[in-house]
Structure 1
Amino acid sequence: MSRRQKAAVLLTADVLVVPLTLYLALAGYENSFVLERQLLSDWETVPILMGLAGLLSYALSMPSIQLNDYEAVGLPAGAVFAVLIGLAALGLNGLADGVAPFSAFVTFSVFLFLGILAGRLTMRFLLLKLLHLQNPRTNVLIYGAGRTGMQLAAALRHDPRIMPVAFVDDNPALRRMTVVGLPVLSPAKLEQTIAEKNIRRVLLAMPSLSMPRKIRLSRRLEPYGVEVQALPSFAQLVGEEELVHKLTSVKPADLLDRSQFDAGLEHSEHLFNGKTILISGAGGSIGSELCRQVLACSPARMILLDHSELALYTINAEVESLCNSVEVVPVLGSVCDARMVQNLLGTEKVDVVLHAAAFKHVPLVEKNPLAGLANNVFGTKVLADAARASGVSRFILVSTDKAVRPINVMGASKRISEMIVQDLASRSEGTLFSMVRFGNVLGSSGSVIPLFEQQIANGGPVTLTHEDVTRYFMTIPEAARLVLISCALSRGGDVFVLDMGKPVPIRKLAHQMIQAAGYTVRDAVNPDGDIEIQVTGLRSGEKLHEELLIGEERVTTAHPKITRALEDCLSEIEIATVLRELRTAIDTNDAITAHAVLSRWIEGAMTPENVKLG
């Protein structure tokens, strides 16, 4: 039925209800028959009232009021209509010498108002029934019978697509009650109710509920095969959800149990100013930060080398947007490509090489040991040899604390890389070779912070590999700054280490991140908390505690926060033997032999079992 047709029907109903309600109003009096007969015979009361009713209904736009809005909009108009028609009938009664009492016209006005309301409610009921027969509604449960749930139920009552059939609420006080016409059921009856009522959707009407608890509730409802939707919070409705998340985000520096390393570059800036700097792994977490900090030293040229097209494109675009006075040369390629690397350093006249390219994710390298060794070990060898041959003034290797008594292939590959650089430093006059050893870098790709953030955003659990696992931590800016400052401190063959304070318990870090995100930890002490912390067990190649030094000897440097480790290294002949044996293992795809070579040549190498037990 079109809107115009509905308006015509309603206008007709407004007119026809007048004689009906007038008759009913007079029927209650003892001489009602005489009154009705006198009114109808003495003057044309009814036709006049019907005509006035039609004009007044149209003037008040009563036929145009939406049926679903009638309670809010139509009732005042209906009341005005009934009162005015009642007054008109009273006036006509006076002209007819007052044959009917005043109270009869009050009753008439009330009956007329009720008749108008009844007509519209009846029409709405019939139209909805017809609509629902043509388009069946989806049965839904509303989880939460509080104020929000009640408002939601009221809003959906006349929705043509959705029909709320019941509430579900955890509050025992609401059980067996009826709220806005719907029963309140126990969560224990969810499965039974979903089956009996043919429920297709459950609406979570608890916008103040924390996201982790919403996620847990959704997981609980998954087995029932229903769609779960959450009513948005006020922040989501006004478009401020992103702001709310930003207000609870965690800065890596906030998680350090020490003051942040923020030394200036005044003593090393001259090494980069006006020079040509090559950064391998330029698109990675450390490499990209090196690009930003080197750029602040006003180099003449920056050569960005990376094997990832996307990572290289991203950092190249960023560097070019930050400064258009520095020539930027993006090079897409691998440090393992000896011909490309030798040609690049031979033609570009590079002054400083910052070697940050490496496969660093321990579990991935454990599953792909030969690829990890080829990239980390032989990539370092290729780049370091090319730097020495082309007369590069300084070469800095980015290493890791996992190189100290390694129990995994990634750490072992970095220790071999360190020994390659130490060997070249002992027999190179034109190039100063050195390396920096990091702890875990907070916020880098694959590190603990992005992992925990994702787990918290998913409602948990946050996973730990061991209750007592600890790590040394530094931020990405700290790591890059350590590399650049170490360039000025280098004497050749140095292993530089940053004073990172005490190792941080990972469980403590998990607690801090959960609380900083605005949630609570769910455990035996707080069973109603938001996020659970689960212990999954140490992975293959994972240490319980990391170390920074192989030996105990280290000396201070010109910077109070940076020390130089004094460590033994292999001879040129021994390094050549290690590389030859590893190359053979890689070429023959023999991972077992590769592991044996690493165990034989790396000082302090241990098995994962020893570490777990020790």
Structure 2
Amino acid sequence: MGSFLSGLTLAGIGFFSNAFIPRTVPIIYSSFLVIFIISIRLIVRALYQSLSGRTKINILIYGAGSAGRQLSIALKHSHEYRAIAFIDRDRSYLKTSVLGLRVLLPEAIDCLITKRDVKKVLLAVPRASANERKLIIDQLAPYSVEILSVPSFADIVSGKAKISELQDVSVDDLLGRDAVMPQQSLLEANIKNKVVMVTGAGGSIGSELCRQIIKQQPKGLVLFELSEFALYQIDRELAGLKLDVPIYPLLGSVQRVHRLESVMKSFQVDTVYHAAAYKHVPLVEYNVIEGIRNNIYGTYYTAKAAIEAGVESFVLISTDKAVRPTNVMGATKRMAELGLQALAEQENGREGGTRFCMVRFGNVLGSSGSVIPLFKKQIAAGGPLTVTHPDITRYFMTIPEAAQLVIQAGAMGKGGDVFVLDMGESVKITALAENLIKLSGLEVRNDSNPHGDIEIQFSGLRPGEKLYEELLIGDNVEKTAHSRIMTANEIHLPLDEYNQMLDTLDQACHGMKHEDIRELLLSAPTGFKPTDGINDIVWNTYNRSTRTI
């Protein structure tokens, strides 16, 4: 505009002063003035960007689609990152430029990392499935670059996150497991317009069950929890959702049958999800009697209270460690399953009886005691990462998916069913640790790479721990209406025999007779095959002190 006005002024002066100025001169003058001004500004900006760019981190954007373009635009104003190219598997982008950046195939990553000192790769593929994301991450894992990701497409659309909000690659992506859409009819069957009670409501699984349950519009939700702080947290979280569902936060222990029965009768509970248990293998090994009291008797008392209160459906959250257990925790969970199977046999013949079932699955990502948060803390602290054994493997599932499948499995139960969730492929923990190190832009330090950043150390199997987990007993496995849920037919005890075993076990626990407790667990049809001796801390300390005296 200034150049145009300047040219117009020049033409006016020539016209009114009768000076000989050709008509084309103001036009040429204005045009060249614009060119000179723009050139100077472009040169200054180029110099500024060149100088300031030296402090920026070179990055690659994986994905040249709309998300990648928006991310590139957002990064132009970044004082921290500088995008140098797009990476995309779509060959239609080959030899093209998007927003001034070349689009290259994944094969060029190695060369770019070496020549341009690339430190990070940003995944801009929010629409990609879990399996597609895993393939991309596997492709990037060998390179020592940190991998960050844009939020999921659902979070972007809902407004929960912006395209420029970069996140660490979630461990879900390492599993490459696409979640199956839940069947709404199964989600609602035992919940909608019913009073639901969750024991262990403040735990990892219990709290997620509460989040899923409250979305299905129950008549009321009873939160039953021993820990005051855990109960406070989940109560405040659910209250913050501001849904029109009454929430009853109740403190209590599953070992007090009268408290359980009075709660279920007072609120006329229709469905119980029993998630209260001690699940940490080494801790239960060190506290055998408390593990038995909580996992076996706590489950049995809760089930008996449900029968007395006329509860319609009772779902036990079990574990893969109950299959051919090598530790006390797994043996107690299998004993809890046996108790429900015995009660189910009695209830199946009674009109209006409580319908019992149990759902068995492996480790969940991000739960209390999970290995993933521990690895992340160790990486942040500079290592080393501690793994118990080079060959140890585990099944993994996300907490939300596990909770949804538990609810759906519970709706399919006929009485005494043992449901097994499809956990996918087992994951080698050492490989998981290595991937987490590499995705953080670091290198594994080992014999072949002594100058790496973080070392993986092997501490040895802990008491009661085994290399491989199983999910089934026997081969009597049947499919169900859900592709991720199977049912297993397994041996169980008559109720009279089970009660007699509980009485004998109670006396042994009361007398702190750990040799008798071990023999009782071995004689029960649990498949218990311990790999260690008795590790109860109190019992071992007492024996040492008496021997010293």
Identify whether the pair has TM-score above 0.5, normalized to the shorter chain.
yes
| Mapping 1:368-387, distance limit 5 Å | 368-387=287-306
- The match for 1:327 among 246, 256, 265 is 246
Amino acid at match of 2:325: P
Q: Give distance in 2, aligned partners of 1:602 and 1:521.
A: 44
Distance 1:388 1:592, change over 3 A: same
CA contact (8 A) 1:473 1:500 kept: yes
CA contact (8 A) 2:397 2:423 kept: yes
Structure 1, residues 435-458: CA drift from partner, whole Å, max 9, x if none?
A: 000111111011111111111111
Q: Give distance in 2, aligned partners of 1:265 and 1:608.
A: 43
| Mapping 1:281-300, distance limit 5 Å | 281-300=200-219
Q: Does 1:598 align with 2:517?
A: no
Q: 1:389 deviation in Å? A: 1.3
- The match for 1:278 among 197, 216, 226 is 197
User: Any unmatched runs of 5+ in structure 2?
Assistant: 1-53, 56-116, 120-161, 534-549
| Mapping 1:219-258, distance limit 5 Å | 247=166, 249-258=168-177
Distance 1:252 1:582, change over 3 A: farther
CA contact (8 A) 1:397 1:436 kept: yes
Query: Match of 1:468?
Result: 391
TM-score by length of 1: 0.58
Q: Does 1:492 align with 2:411?
A: no
Query: Match of 1:34?
Result: none
Amino acid at match of 1:460: G
Structure 1, residues 130-152: CA drift from partner, whole Å, max 9, x if none?
A: xxxxxxxxxxxxxxxxx99xxxx
Q: 1:522 deviation in Å? A: 1.1
Query: Match of 1:427?
Result: 346
- The match for 1:526 among 441, 445, 449 is 449
> Number of paired residues?
370
Q: 1:267 deviation in Å? A: 2.8
- The match for 2:473 among 547, 550, 553 is 550
| Mapping 1:309-388, distance limit 5 Å | 309-388=228-307
Distance 1:460 1:261, change over 3 A: farther
Distance 1:466 1:297, change over 3 A: same
Q: CA RMSD in A?
A: 2.0
Query: Match of 1:578?
Result: 501
Q: Give distance in 2, aligned partners of 1:427 and 1:571.
A: 9
CA contact (8 A) 2:334 2:526 kept: no
Q: 1:476 deviation in Å? A: 0.5
| Mapping 1:37-76, distance limit 5 Å | none
CA contact (8 A) 2:360 2:471 kept: yes
Q: Give distance in 2, aligned partners of 1:323 and 1:405.
A: 44
Larger Rg: 1
Tell me the secondary structure at the aligned position of residue 223 of structure 2.
strand
Q: 1:348 deviation in Å? A: 1.2
Query: Match of 1:72?
Result: none
Tell me the secondary structure at the aligned position of residue 279 of structure 1.
strand
Query: Match of 1:562?
Result: 485
Tell me the secondary structure at the aligned position of residue 525 of structure 1.
coil
- The match for 1:538 among 461, 476, 480 is 461
Q: Give distance in 2, aligned partners of 1:264 and 1:443.
A: 25
Amino acid at match of 2:314: F
Q: 1:431 deviation in Å? A: 1.0
CA contact (8 A) 2:464 2:532 kept: no
Query: Match of 1:14?
Result: none
CA contact (8 A) 1:258 1:500 kept: no
User: Any unmatched runs of 5+ in structure 1?
Assistant: 1-146, 149-207, 211-242
Query: Match of 2:367?
Result: 444
Tell me the secondary structure at the aligned position of residue 427 of structure 1.
helix
Structure 1, residues 178-221: CA drift from partner, whole Å, max 9, x if none?
A: xxxxxxxxxxxxxxxxxxxxxxxxxxxxxx9x9xxxxxxxxxxx
Q: Does 1:391 align with 2:314?
A: no
- The match for 2:427 among 504, 507, 513 is 504
Q: 1:365 deviation in Å? A: 0.6
Tell me the secondary structure at the aligned position of residue 608 of structure 1.
coil
Amino acid at match of 2:497: E
Q: 1:386 deviation in Å? A: 0.6
Query: Match of 2:27?
Result: none
Q: Give distance in 1, aligned partners of 2:454 and 2:522.
A: 41
TM-score by length of 2: 0.65
Structure 1, residues 265-294: CA drift from partner, whole Å, max 9, x if none?
A: 333313211110000000000000000000
Q: Give distance in 2, aligned partners of 1:264 and 1:514.
A: 37
Q: Give distance in 1, aligned partners of 2:176 and 2:463.
A: 28
CA contact (8 A) 2:268 2:309 kept: yes
Tell me the secondary structure at the aligned position of residue 474 of structure 1.
strand
Q: Give distance in 2, aligned partners of 1:257 and 1:359.
A: 29
CA contact (8 A) 2:205 2:403 kept: yes
Query: Match of 1:8?
Result: none
Structure 1, residues 227-268: CA drift from partner, whole Å, max 9, x if none?
A: xxxxxxxxxxxxxxxx9xx94634232232432344243333
Q: Greater helix share, 1 or 2?
A: 1
CA contact (8 A) 1:405 1:602 kept: no
Q: Give distance in 2, aligned partners of 1:260 and 1:518.
A: 28
CA contact (8 A) 2:202 2:227 kept: yes
List 4+ stretches of structure 1 deviating above 6 A. Answer: none
Q: Does 1:407 align with 2:318?
A: no
CA contact (8 A) 1:250 1:517 kept: no
Q: 1:604 deviation in Å? A: 2.2
Amino acid at match of 1:490: G
Q: 1:479 deviation in Å? A: 1.3
CA contact (8 A) 2:331 2:526 kept: no
Distance 1:432 1:368, change over 3 A: same
Q: Give distance in 2, aligned partners of 1:609 and 1:414.
A: 18
Distance 1:522 1:260, change over 3 A: farther
Q: 1:475 deviation in Å? A: 1.0
Q: Give distance in 1, aligned partners of 2:457 and 2:305.
A: 47
CA contact (8 A) 2:187 2:216 kept: no
Amino acid at match of 1:300: K
Q: Give distance in 2, aligned partners of 1:348 and 1:419.
A: 28
